[in-house]
Amino acid sequence: MAINVIGEAKRCLNCKKPMCREGCPIHTPIPDMIHTFLGGDINKAGAMLFENNPLSMICSMICNHEKQCQGHCVLNRKGAPVHISSIENYISDNYFDKLKFPEIEKNGMRVGIIGSGPAGITIAMILARRGYDITVFESKEKIGGVLQYGIPEFRLPKTILARYKRKMWEMGIKIRPNTSIGTTISIDDMFRDGYSAIFIGTGVWRPNTLHIKGETLGNVHYAINYLTNPDVYRLGETVNIIGAGNSAMDVARTALRHGARTVRVFSRSDHLAASEREVDYAKIDGVEFIVHVEPVEIVDEGAIFVELECDGKGTLTPIKGTEGLYAADSTIIAISQGPKDRIVSTTSGLEVNDKGLLVTNTFGETTRDGIFASGDVVRGAKTVVEAAAYSKQVADAMDKYMQGLMKESDQ
């Protein structure tokens, strides 16, 4: 590996109050994990990581570590922080395929998981280990959701998701690919067939639009659609990308790897939404950044932008007469996504907010009894580790709910 994992582990100060753990959304037991690893028990260290976060191997690769665990390391104040992500990845990767489960005694209760993204995988693995009969319904061919179809191969090798699929099978989890709930099968059908609880983790796959002239033209695409399968697109040599979040960085770097020669990212602000690391990688790859502009129209020749001025208080306003064409073969819109309404429109009792996100309480309970939800379909487009952290809490709530049903049936 590029990082000397053992050397980095030895730099850990084993702080009494580990700020690295406080900075981690899922509170990974970092000092304990490192201490155990250095003590020669890599399997115990791996078990610590998996028990805390079933997606540990994935999060170690794609989290914004500079703002989370590593950013909170006390060594970061006067020098370089411990490279926690590399240590976590080394241990998790080494341990994952060794991970074995004793014969799990089934409790006779059936759970349906709709969506196999970060939230769905997390809850499926947790509840399967507690004896529930789990079926995962995935609308696409492969599992992973945004991990499979929204994060490029160079950031997250898809072989990792294949390993997760095999591990889920080993745990007795059934997977139904190419199955959309809300079309042929409804949630009411699932309750009819004996599911005690249902989890919705369908993510956000409907692209947000700019609502400007030209979005229907043939040279315009949306980021989430492009990232799903870049090979089917013909973008040309010059590509404009509107939006500057992590998704935009993924699009930009992917486009360059698929033959584009000039890729520009346009942002209203110079405070880019993407993480500093992803911006740095994009710049190294050759992506150009243009800030303080906003699009006013997309045309066959590219996109027309107007310059913005700041009043010093953070308010940006267009400067009349500064409209100009940035020529491009293709334009990709990357301004986040919202949820599709297929399940909500076919299921009574589910409430959504003004953004179309499912309404839940703190424990992931929706407005219909027995249906739970978490991840992006509840909170909007967030990070993978945030989805995993919240889903642990929801899994506990689902377990408690179903145990209550079991007690009622025994009375």
Q: What are the start-end ranges of the E strands in 243-312?
A: 262-267, 288-291, 293-299, 302-310
The CATH architecture of the domain made up of 209-335 is: 3-Layer(bba) Sandwich (3.50)
Domain ranges of the chain: 5-96, 110-205+338-410, 209-335
What's the pLDDT at 205? 83
Q: DSSP alpha helices (H): ranges in 24-117? A: 30-38, 42-52, 56-62, 69-72, 84-96
Residue pair 58/384 in contact (Cβ under 8 Å)? The answer is yes
**Encoded tokens for 233:** 């697109």
Which residues in 248-278 are b (16+ Cβ under 10 Å) and which e? bbbbbbbbbeeebebbbbbbbeeebbbbeeb
In this prediction, the residues of the chain whose per-residue pLDDT falls under 70 are: 1-2, 411
Helix (H, G, I), strand (E, B) or coil at 141: coil
CATH superfamily to which 110-205+338-410 belongs: FAD/NAD(P)-binding domain (3.50.50.60)
Query: Phi and psi dihedrals of 319, rounded to 5?
Result: -100, 115
What's the pLDDT at 411? 63
CA distance 37 to 8: 12
> Helices (H) and strands (E) in the chain — how many of each?
17, 16
What's the pLDDT at 311? 80
What's the pLDDT at 101? 85
pLDDT per residue as tens digits for the range 320-344: 999 999 999 999 999 988 887 778 8
User: Same topology for domains 5-96 and 110-205+338-410, yes or no?
Assistant: no
pTM above 0.85, yes or no: yes
**Encoded tokens for 274:** 């993407």
**Encoded tokens for 193:** 């067939």
What's the pLDDT at 104? 84
pLDDT per residue as tens digits for the range 370-411: 999 998 888 887 889 999 999 999 999 999 999 998 887 776
**CATH tag for 5-96 (out of 3.40.50.700, 3.30.530.20, 3.30.420.280, 1.10.1060.10):** 1.10.1060.10
Q: What are the start-end ranges of the E strands in 225-329?
A: 238-242, 262-267, 288-291, 293-299, 302-310, 316-318, 324-327
Strands 302-310 and 324-327: antiparallel
